Structure 1
């Protein structure tokens, strides 16, 4: 079993915990509602998130700053502010609910006469054309409707926060934004289906146009020292299978995007599945202020039945090791495109990972350049056999990529041989393992 984290501050026995900011009723400190790991911090040397000031989240929170929440409003209030705090999610928190907890539909957010049917009729490329983005009252109504949904479903997490789940806890239909803050931990949660009711059609996006949505399940933007650990991320039971104008009607954006000078992030022991565009590290070639930032470690995660971007990197020094990639020819979800996107000035190191694949999987598709020039790719296995994944891409494409990312990761605690990764990650990734000792 993975070594239990040692830098832990114990909950004080007999203390009173606030059940929520809205209604603070005492809860025994040893209540099973508050997980044993709620005050654990990221150990020294565990990826980029342990660098700098380290990542301790709300470990120093007073007893009065430990909150148990079960509604969207309670969650939003509990994670706000920069004081040290621990927030425990119990049950299912649905972002698409009103203040009384009643469910909200896409029609409830629509304003100014917006309807999808009218939008499709107005901006059909056969009517609107392919040379300009939608404009006018109906596009303005779509944007206003999207803003109305955002006001209700986006939850902004403050600095010095530990957000954890009780056993079985789920956050659905909610976009968590860790934006311009520091020192945040998110652990032991199922986070799913951050869907956008009002995607925008852009006929100028690529050769065939594209639908673009606005909400990431988790966005780490401009923030430093973040640890995402033992969570499960997915689209839930809603997949992007509708097509309009010949393109997928994408109601999901990223699952976990790390952007806009975010830095010092560790993502470990998560299950990530059933999504297309999974993770951007750096969101624009033109954002040169990202240089020197976007240092991210991804280790011991399970990436299953995903389309692309696991991750796609710009600028950052990104360490990807001991991850298990599982592709099973999944007709129910998304066609596989690639895993490691080598973007502008990226310095991606991918080592000791394991791919378990079936069907027509082509190793030459794992690496995909997007304006980048270098990657270190070593000691990776496909179905338990050593495969030169970079070499396979270069042979198939005739392109050139430097096989040295120009740096050597040092912030690694335990590196398993690639052949052990399916067993180790399969047994220990995701929320259930973290809760197994509670």
Structure 2
């Protein structure tokens, strides 16, 4: 049976399964709180965001300046920020559009940068000097406008439909909820060339759509993350001029996070949980739950994990272009990924051993996986066995913990219908 027919059958079978758990916990979208067993963000004090906000701390915003002001108001007090329409991040203080050239430092231009750091003459040395310093100043100019901090006890949610375009929400506080938003094209106008990144060097960018930095008790629910169609970039030095970083990164000692019912699509480096192999911030933290998310046309990092106890269940992975795909689950240093009941839709011939990637980790729990390859009917797959058969060193199966905070565990066969009808804004 072809995939379209199979998905249609599952949709019919899954109509009674497609509940959005949050709906049971509130009606006003700004007052919704996380369920008592809905993943790691439900641990200890739970996650309520700005549900207790007083009337004076409830804001409706339609432009960047209003969003920045609302997020900065009454630090620490519960607040609700309703977002309406499209908010553009690449603007000035009066919300007038600013081009990349408008953010550029007087000492920077791309042709001069390309000439200065051409590997044929610069070699494999870290970039330095006046042009690199000017690039960094240019990047700082853009960051001052496009990166907005989200502090504690805050809910950011949509009224109607809304898109945050070219913006990064940097969550730094405790007790934050982000729901029903569309995040698109957090692009860096000034990527840095790193000759030492990989065998041939790479272009690296600065911004994620959402960045959790030392944040705790965060619920990211029913959102959409993508590059907003901004995918056609030139090639310099034989490498793509990459203007995007991650879609949703969870780093720097962030902890107790639930990521549920989101759509993450058409991107390369998707979700990084833990951004360093050094244990400075992260030992005993980075506890994250990912459930009922759609990862479609994703190159890698879905997620890539260091240190954390990460529960990955009931997610749908769709890969159409094998040339743009690297892996899904990244097993990093001291990571303890507990994956169950996930569904993979793959092109025929994609080696199953590539679904997991070794990043110096030692163990992976992976059970209940179903894979539909090409026109084949879905079949159970032991991800750990497939990885170990194709790669060295082998990974063990004991991650040292078993998840207990589970709101609802669906069978893997139901995941396509549940996720396709339930994940994303307004669903």
Q: TM-score scaled to structure 2, two decimals?
A: 0.92
CA distance in structure 1 between the aligned counterparts of 2:333 and 2:233, rounded to whole angstroms: 31
Measured after TM superposition, the shift of residue 77 of structure 1 is 1.1
Matched, 1:351 2:345: no
Measured after TM superposition, the shift of residue 204 of structure 1 is 1.1
CA distance in structure 1 between the aligned counterparts of 2:244 and 2:348, rounded to whole angstroms: 26
Please, which moves more after superposition, 399-408 or 85-94?
A: 399-408
Matched, 1:64 2:56: yes
Determine which of 270, 282, 297 is the counterpart of 1:305.
297
Aligned pairs for 1:366-405 (under 5 A) are 366-383=355-372, 384-405=378-399
Instruction: Please state whether the residue corresponding to 1:287 is helix, strand or coil.
Output: coil
Counterpart in the other structure of 1:153: 146
Counterpart in the other structure of 1:426: 420
Counterpart in the other structure of 1:246: 238
**Alpha carbons 1:324, 1:421 under 8 Å: kept:** yes
Q: Structure 1 regions of 5+ residues with no counterpart? A: 11-35, 434-438
Spell out, residue by residue over 1:238-259, the C-alpha distance to the aligned partner (whole angstroms, 9 max, x if none). Answer: 0164211111211101110101
Aligned pairs for 1:133-144 (under 5 A) are 133-144=126-137
Q: 1:58 to 1:376 in 2, by over 3 A?
A: same
Counterpart in the other structure of 1:279: 271
**Alpha carbons 2:274, 2:306 under 8 Å: kept:** yes
Matched, 1:322 2:314: yes
Measured after TM superposition, the shift of residue 65 of structure 1 is 1.1
**Alpha carbons 1:329, 1:359 under 8 Å: kept:** no
**Alpha carbons 1:240, 1:252 under 8 Å: kept:** no
Q: 1:165 to 1:330 in 2, by over 3 A?
A: farther
Determine which of 199, 218, 223 is the counterpart of 1:226.
218
Measured after TM superposition, the shift of residue 389 of structure 1 is 1.5
Q: 1:126 to 1:4 in 2, by over 3 A?
A: closer
Q: 1:403 to 1:4 in 2, by over 3 A?
A: closer
Measured after TM superposition, the shift of residue 403 of structure 1 is 1.3
Q: 1:3 to 1:117 in 2, by over 3 A?
A: closer
Matched, 1:290 2:290: no
User: Aligned pair count?
Assistant: 403
**Alpha carbons 1:325, 1:354 under 8 Å: kept:** yes
**Alpha carbons 1:182, 1:224 under 8 Å: kept:** yes
Determine which of 209, 212, 224 is the counterpart of 2:204.
212
Q: TM-score scaled to structure 1, two decimals?
A: 0.90
Spell out, residue by residue over 1:97-122, the C-alpha distance to the aligned partner (whole angstroms, 9 max, x if none). Answer: 12322211100000132111110011
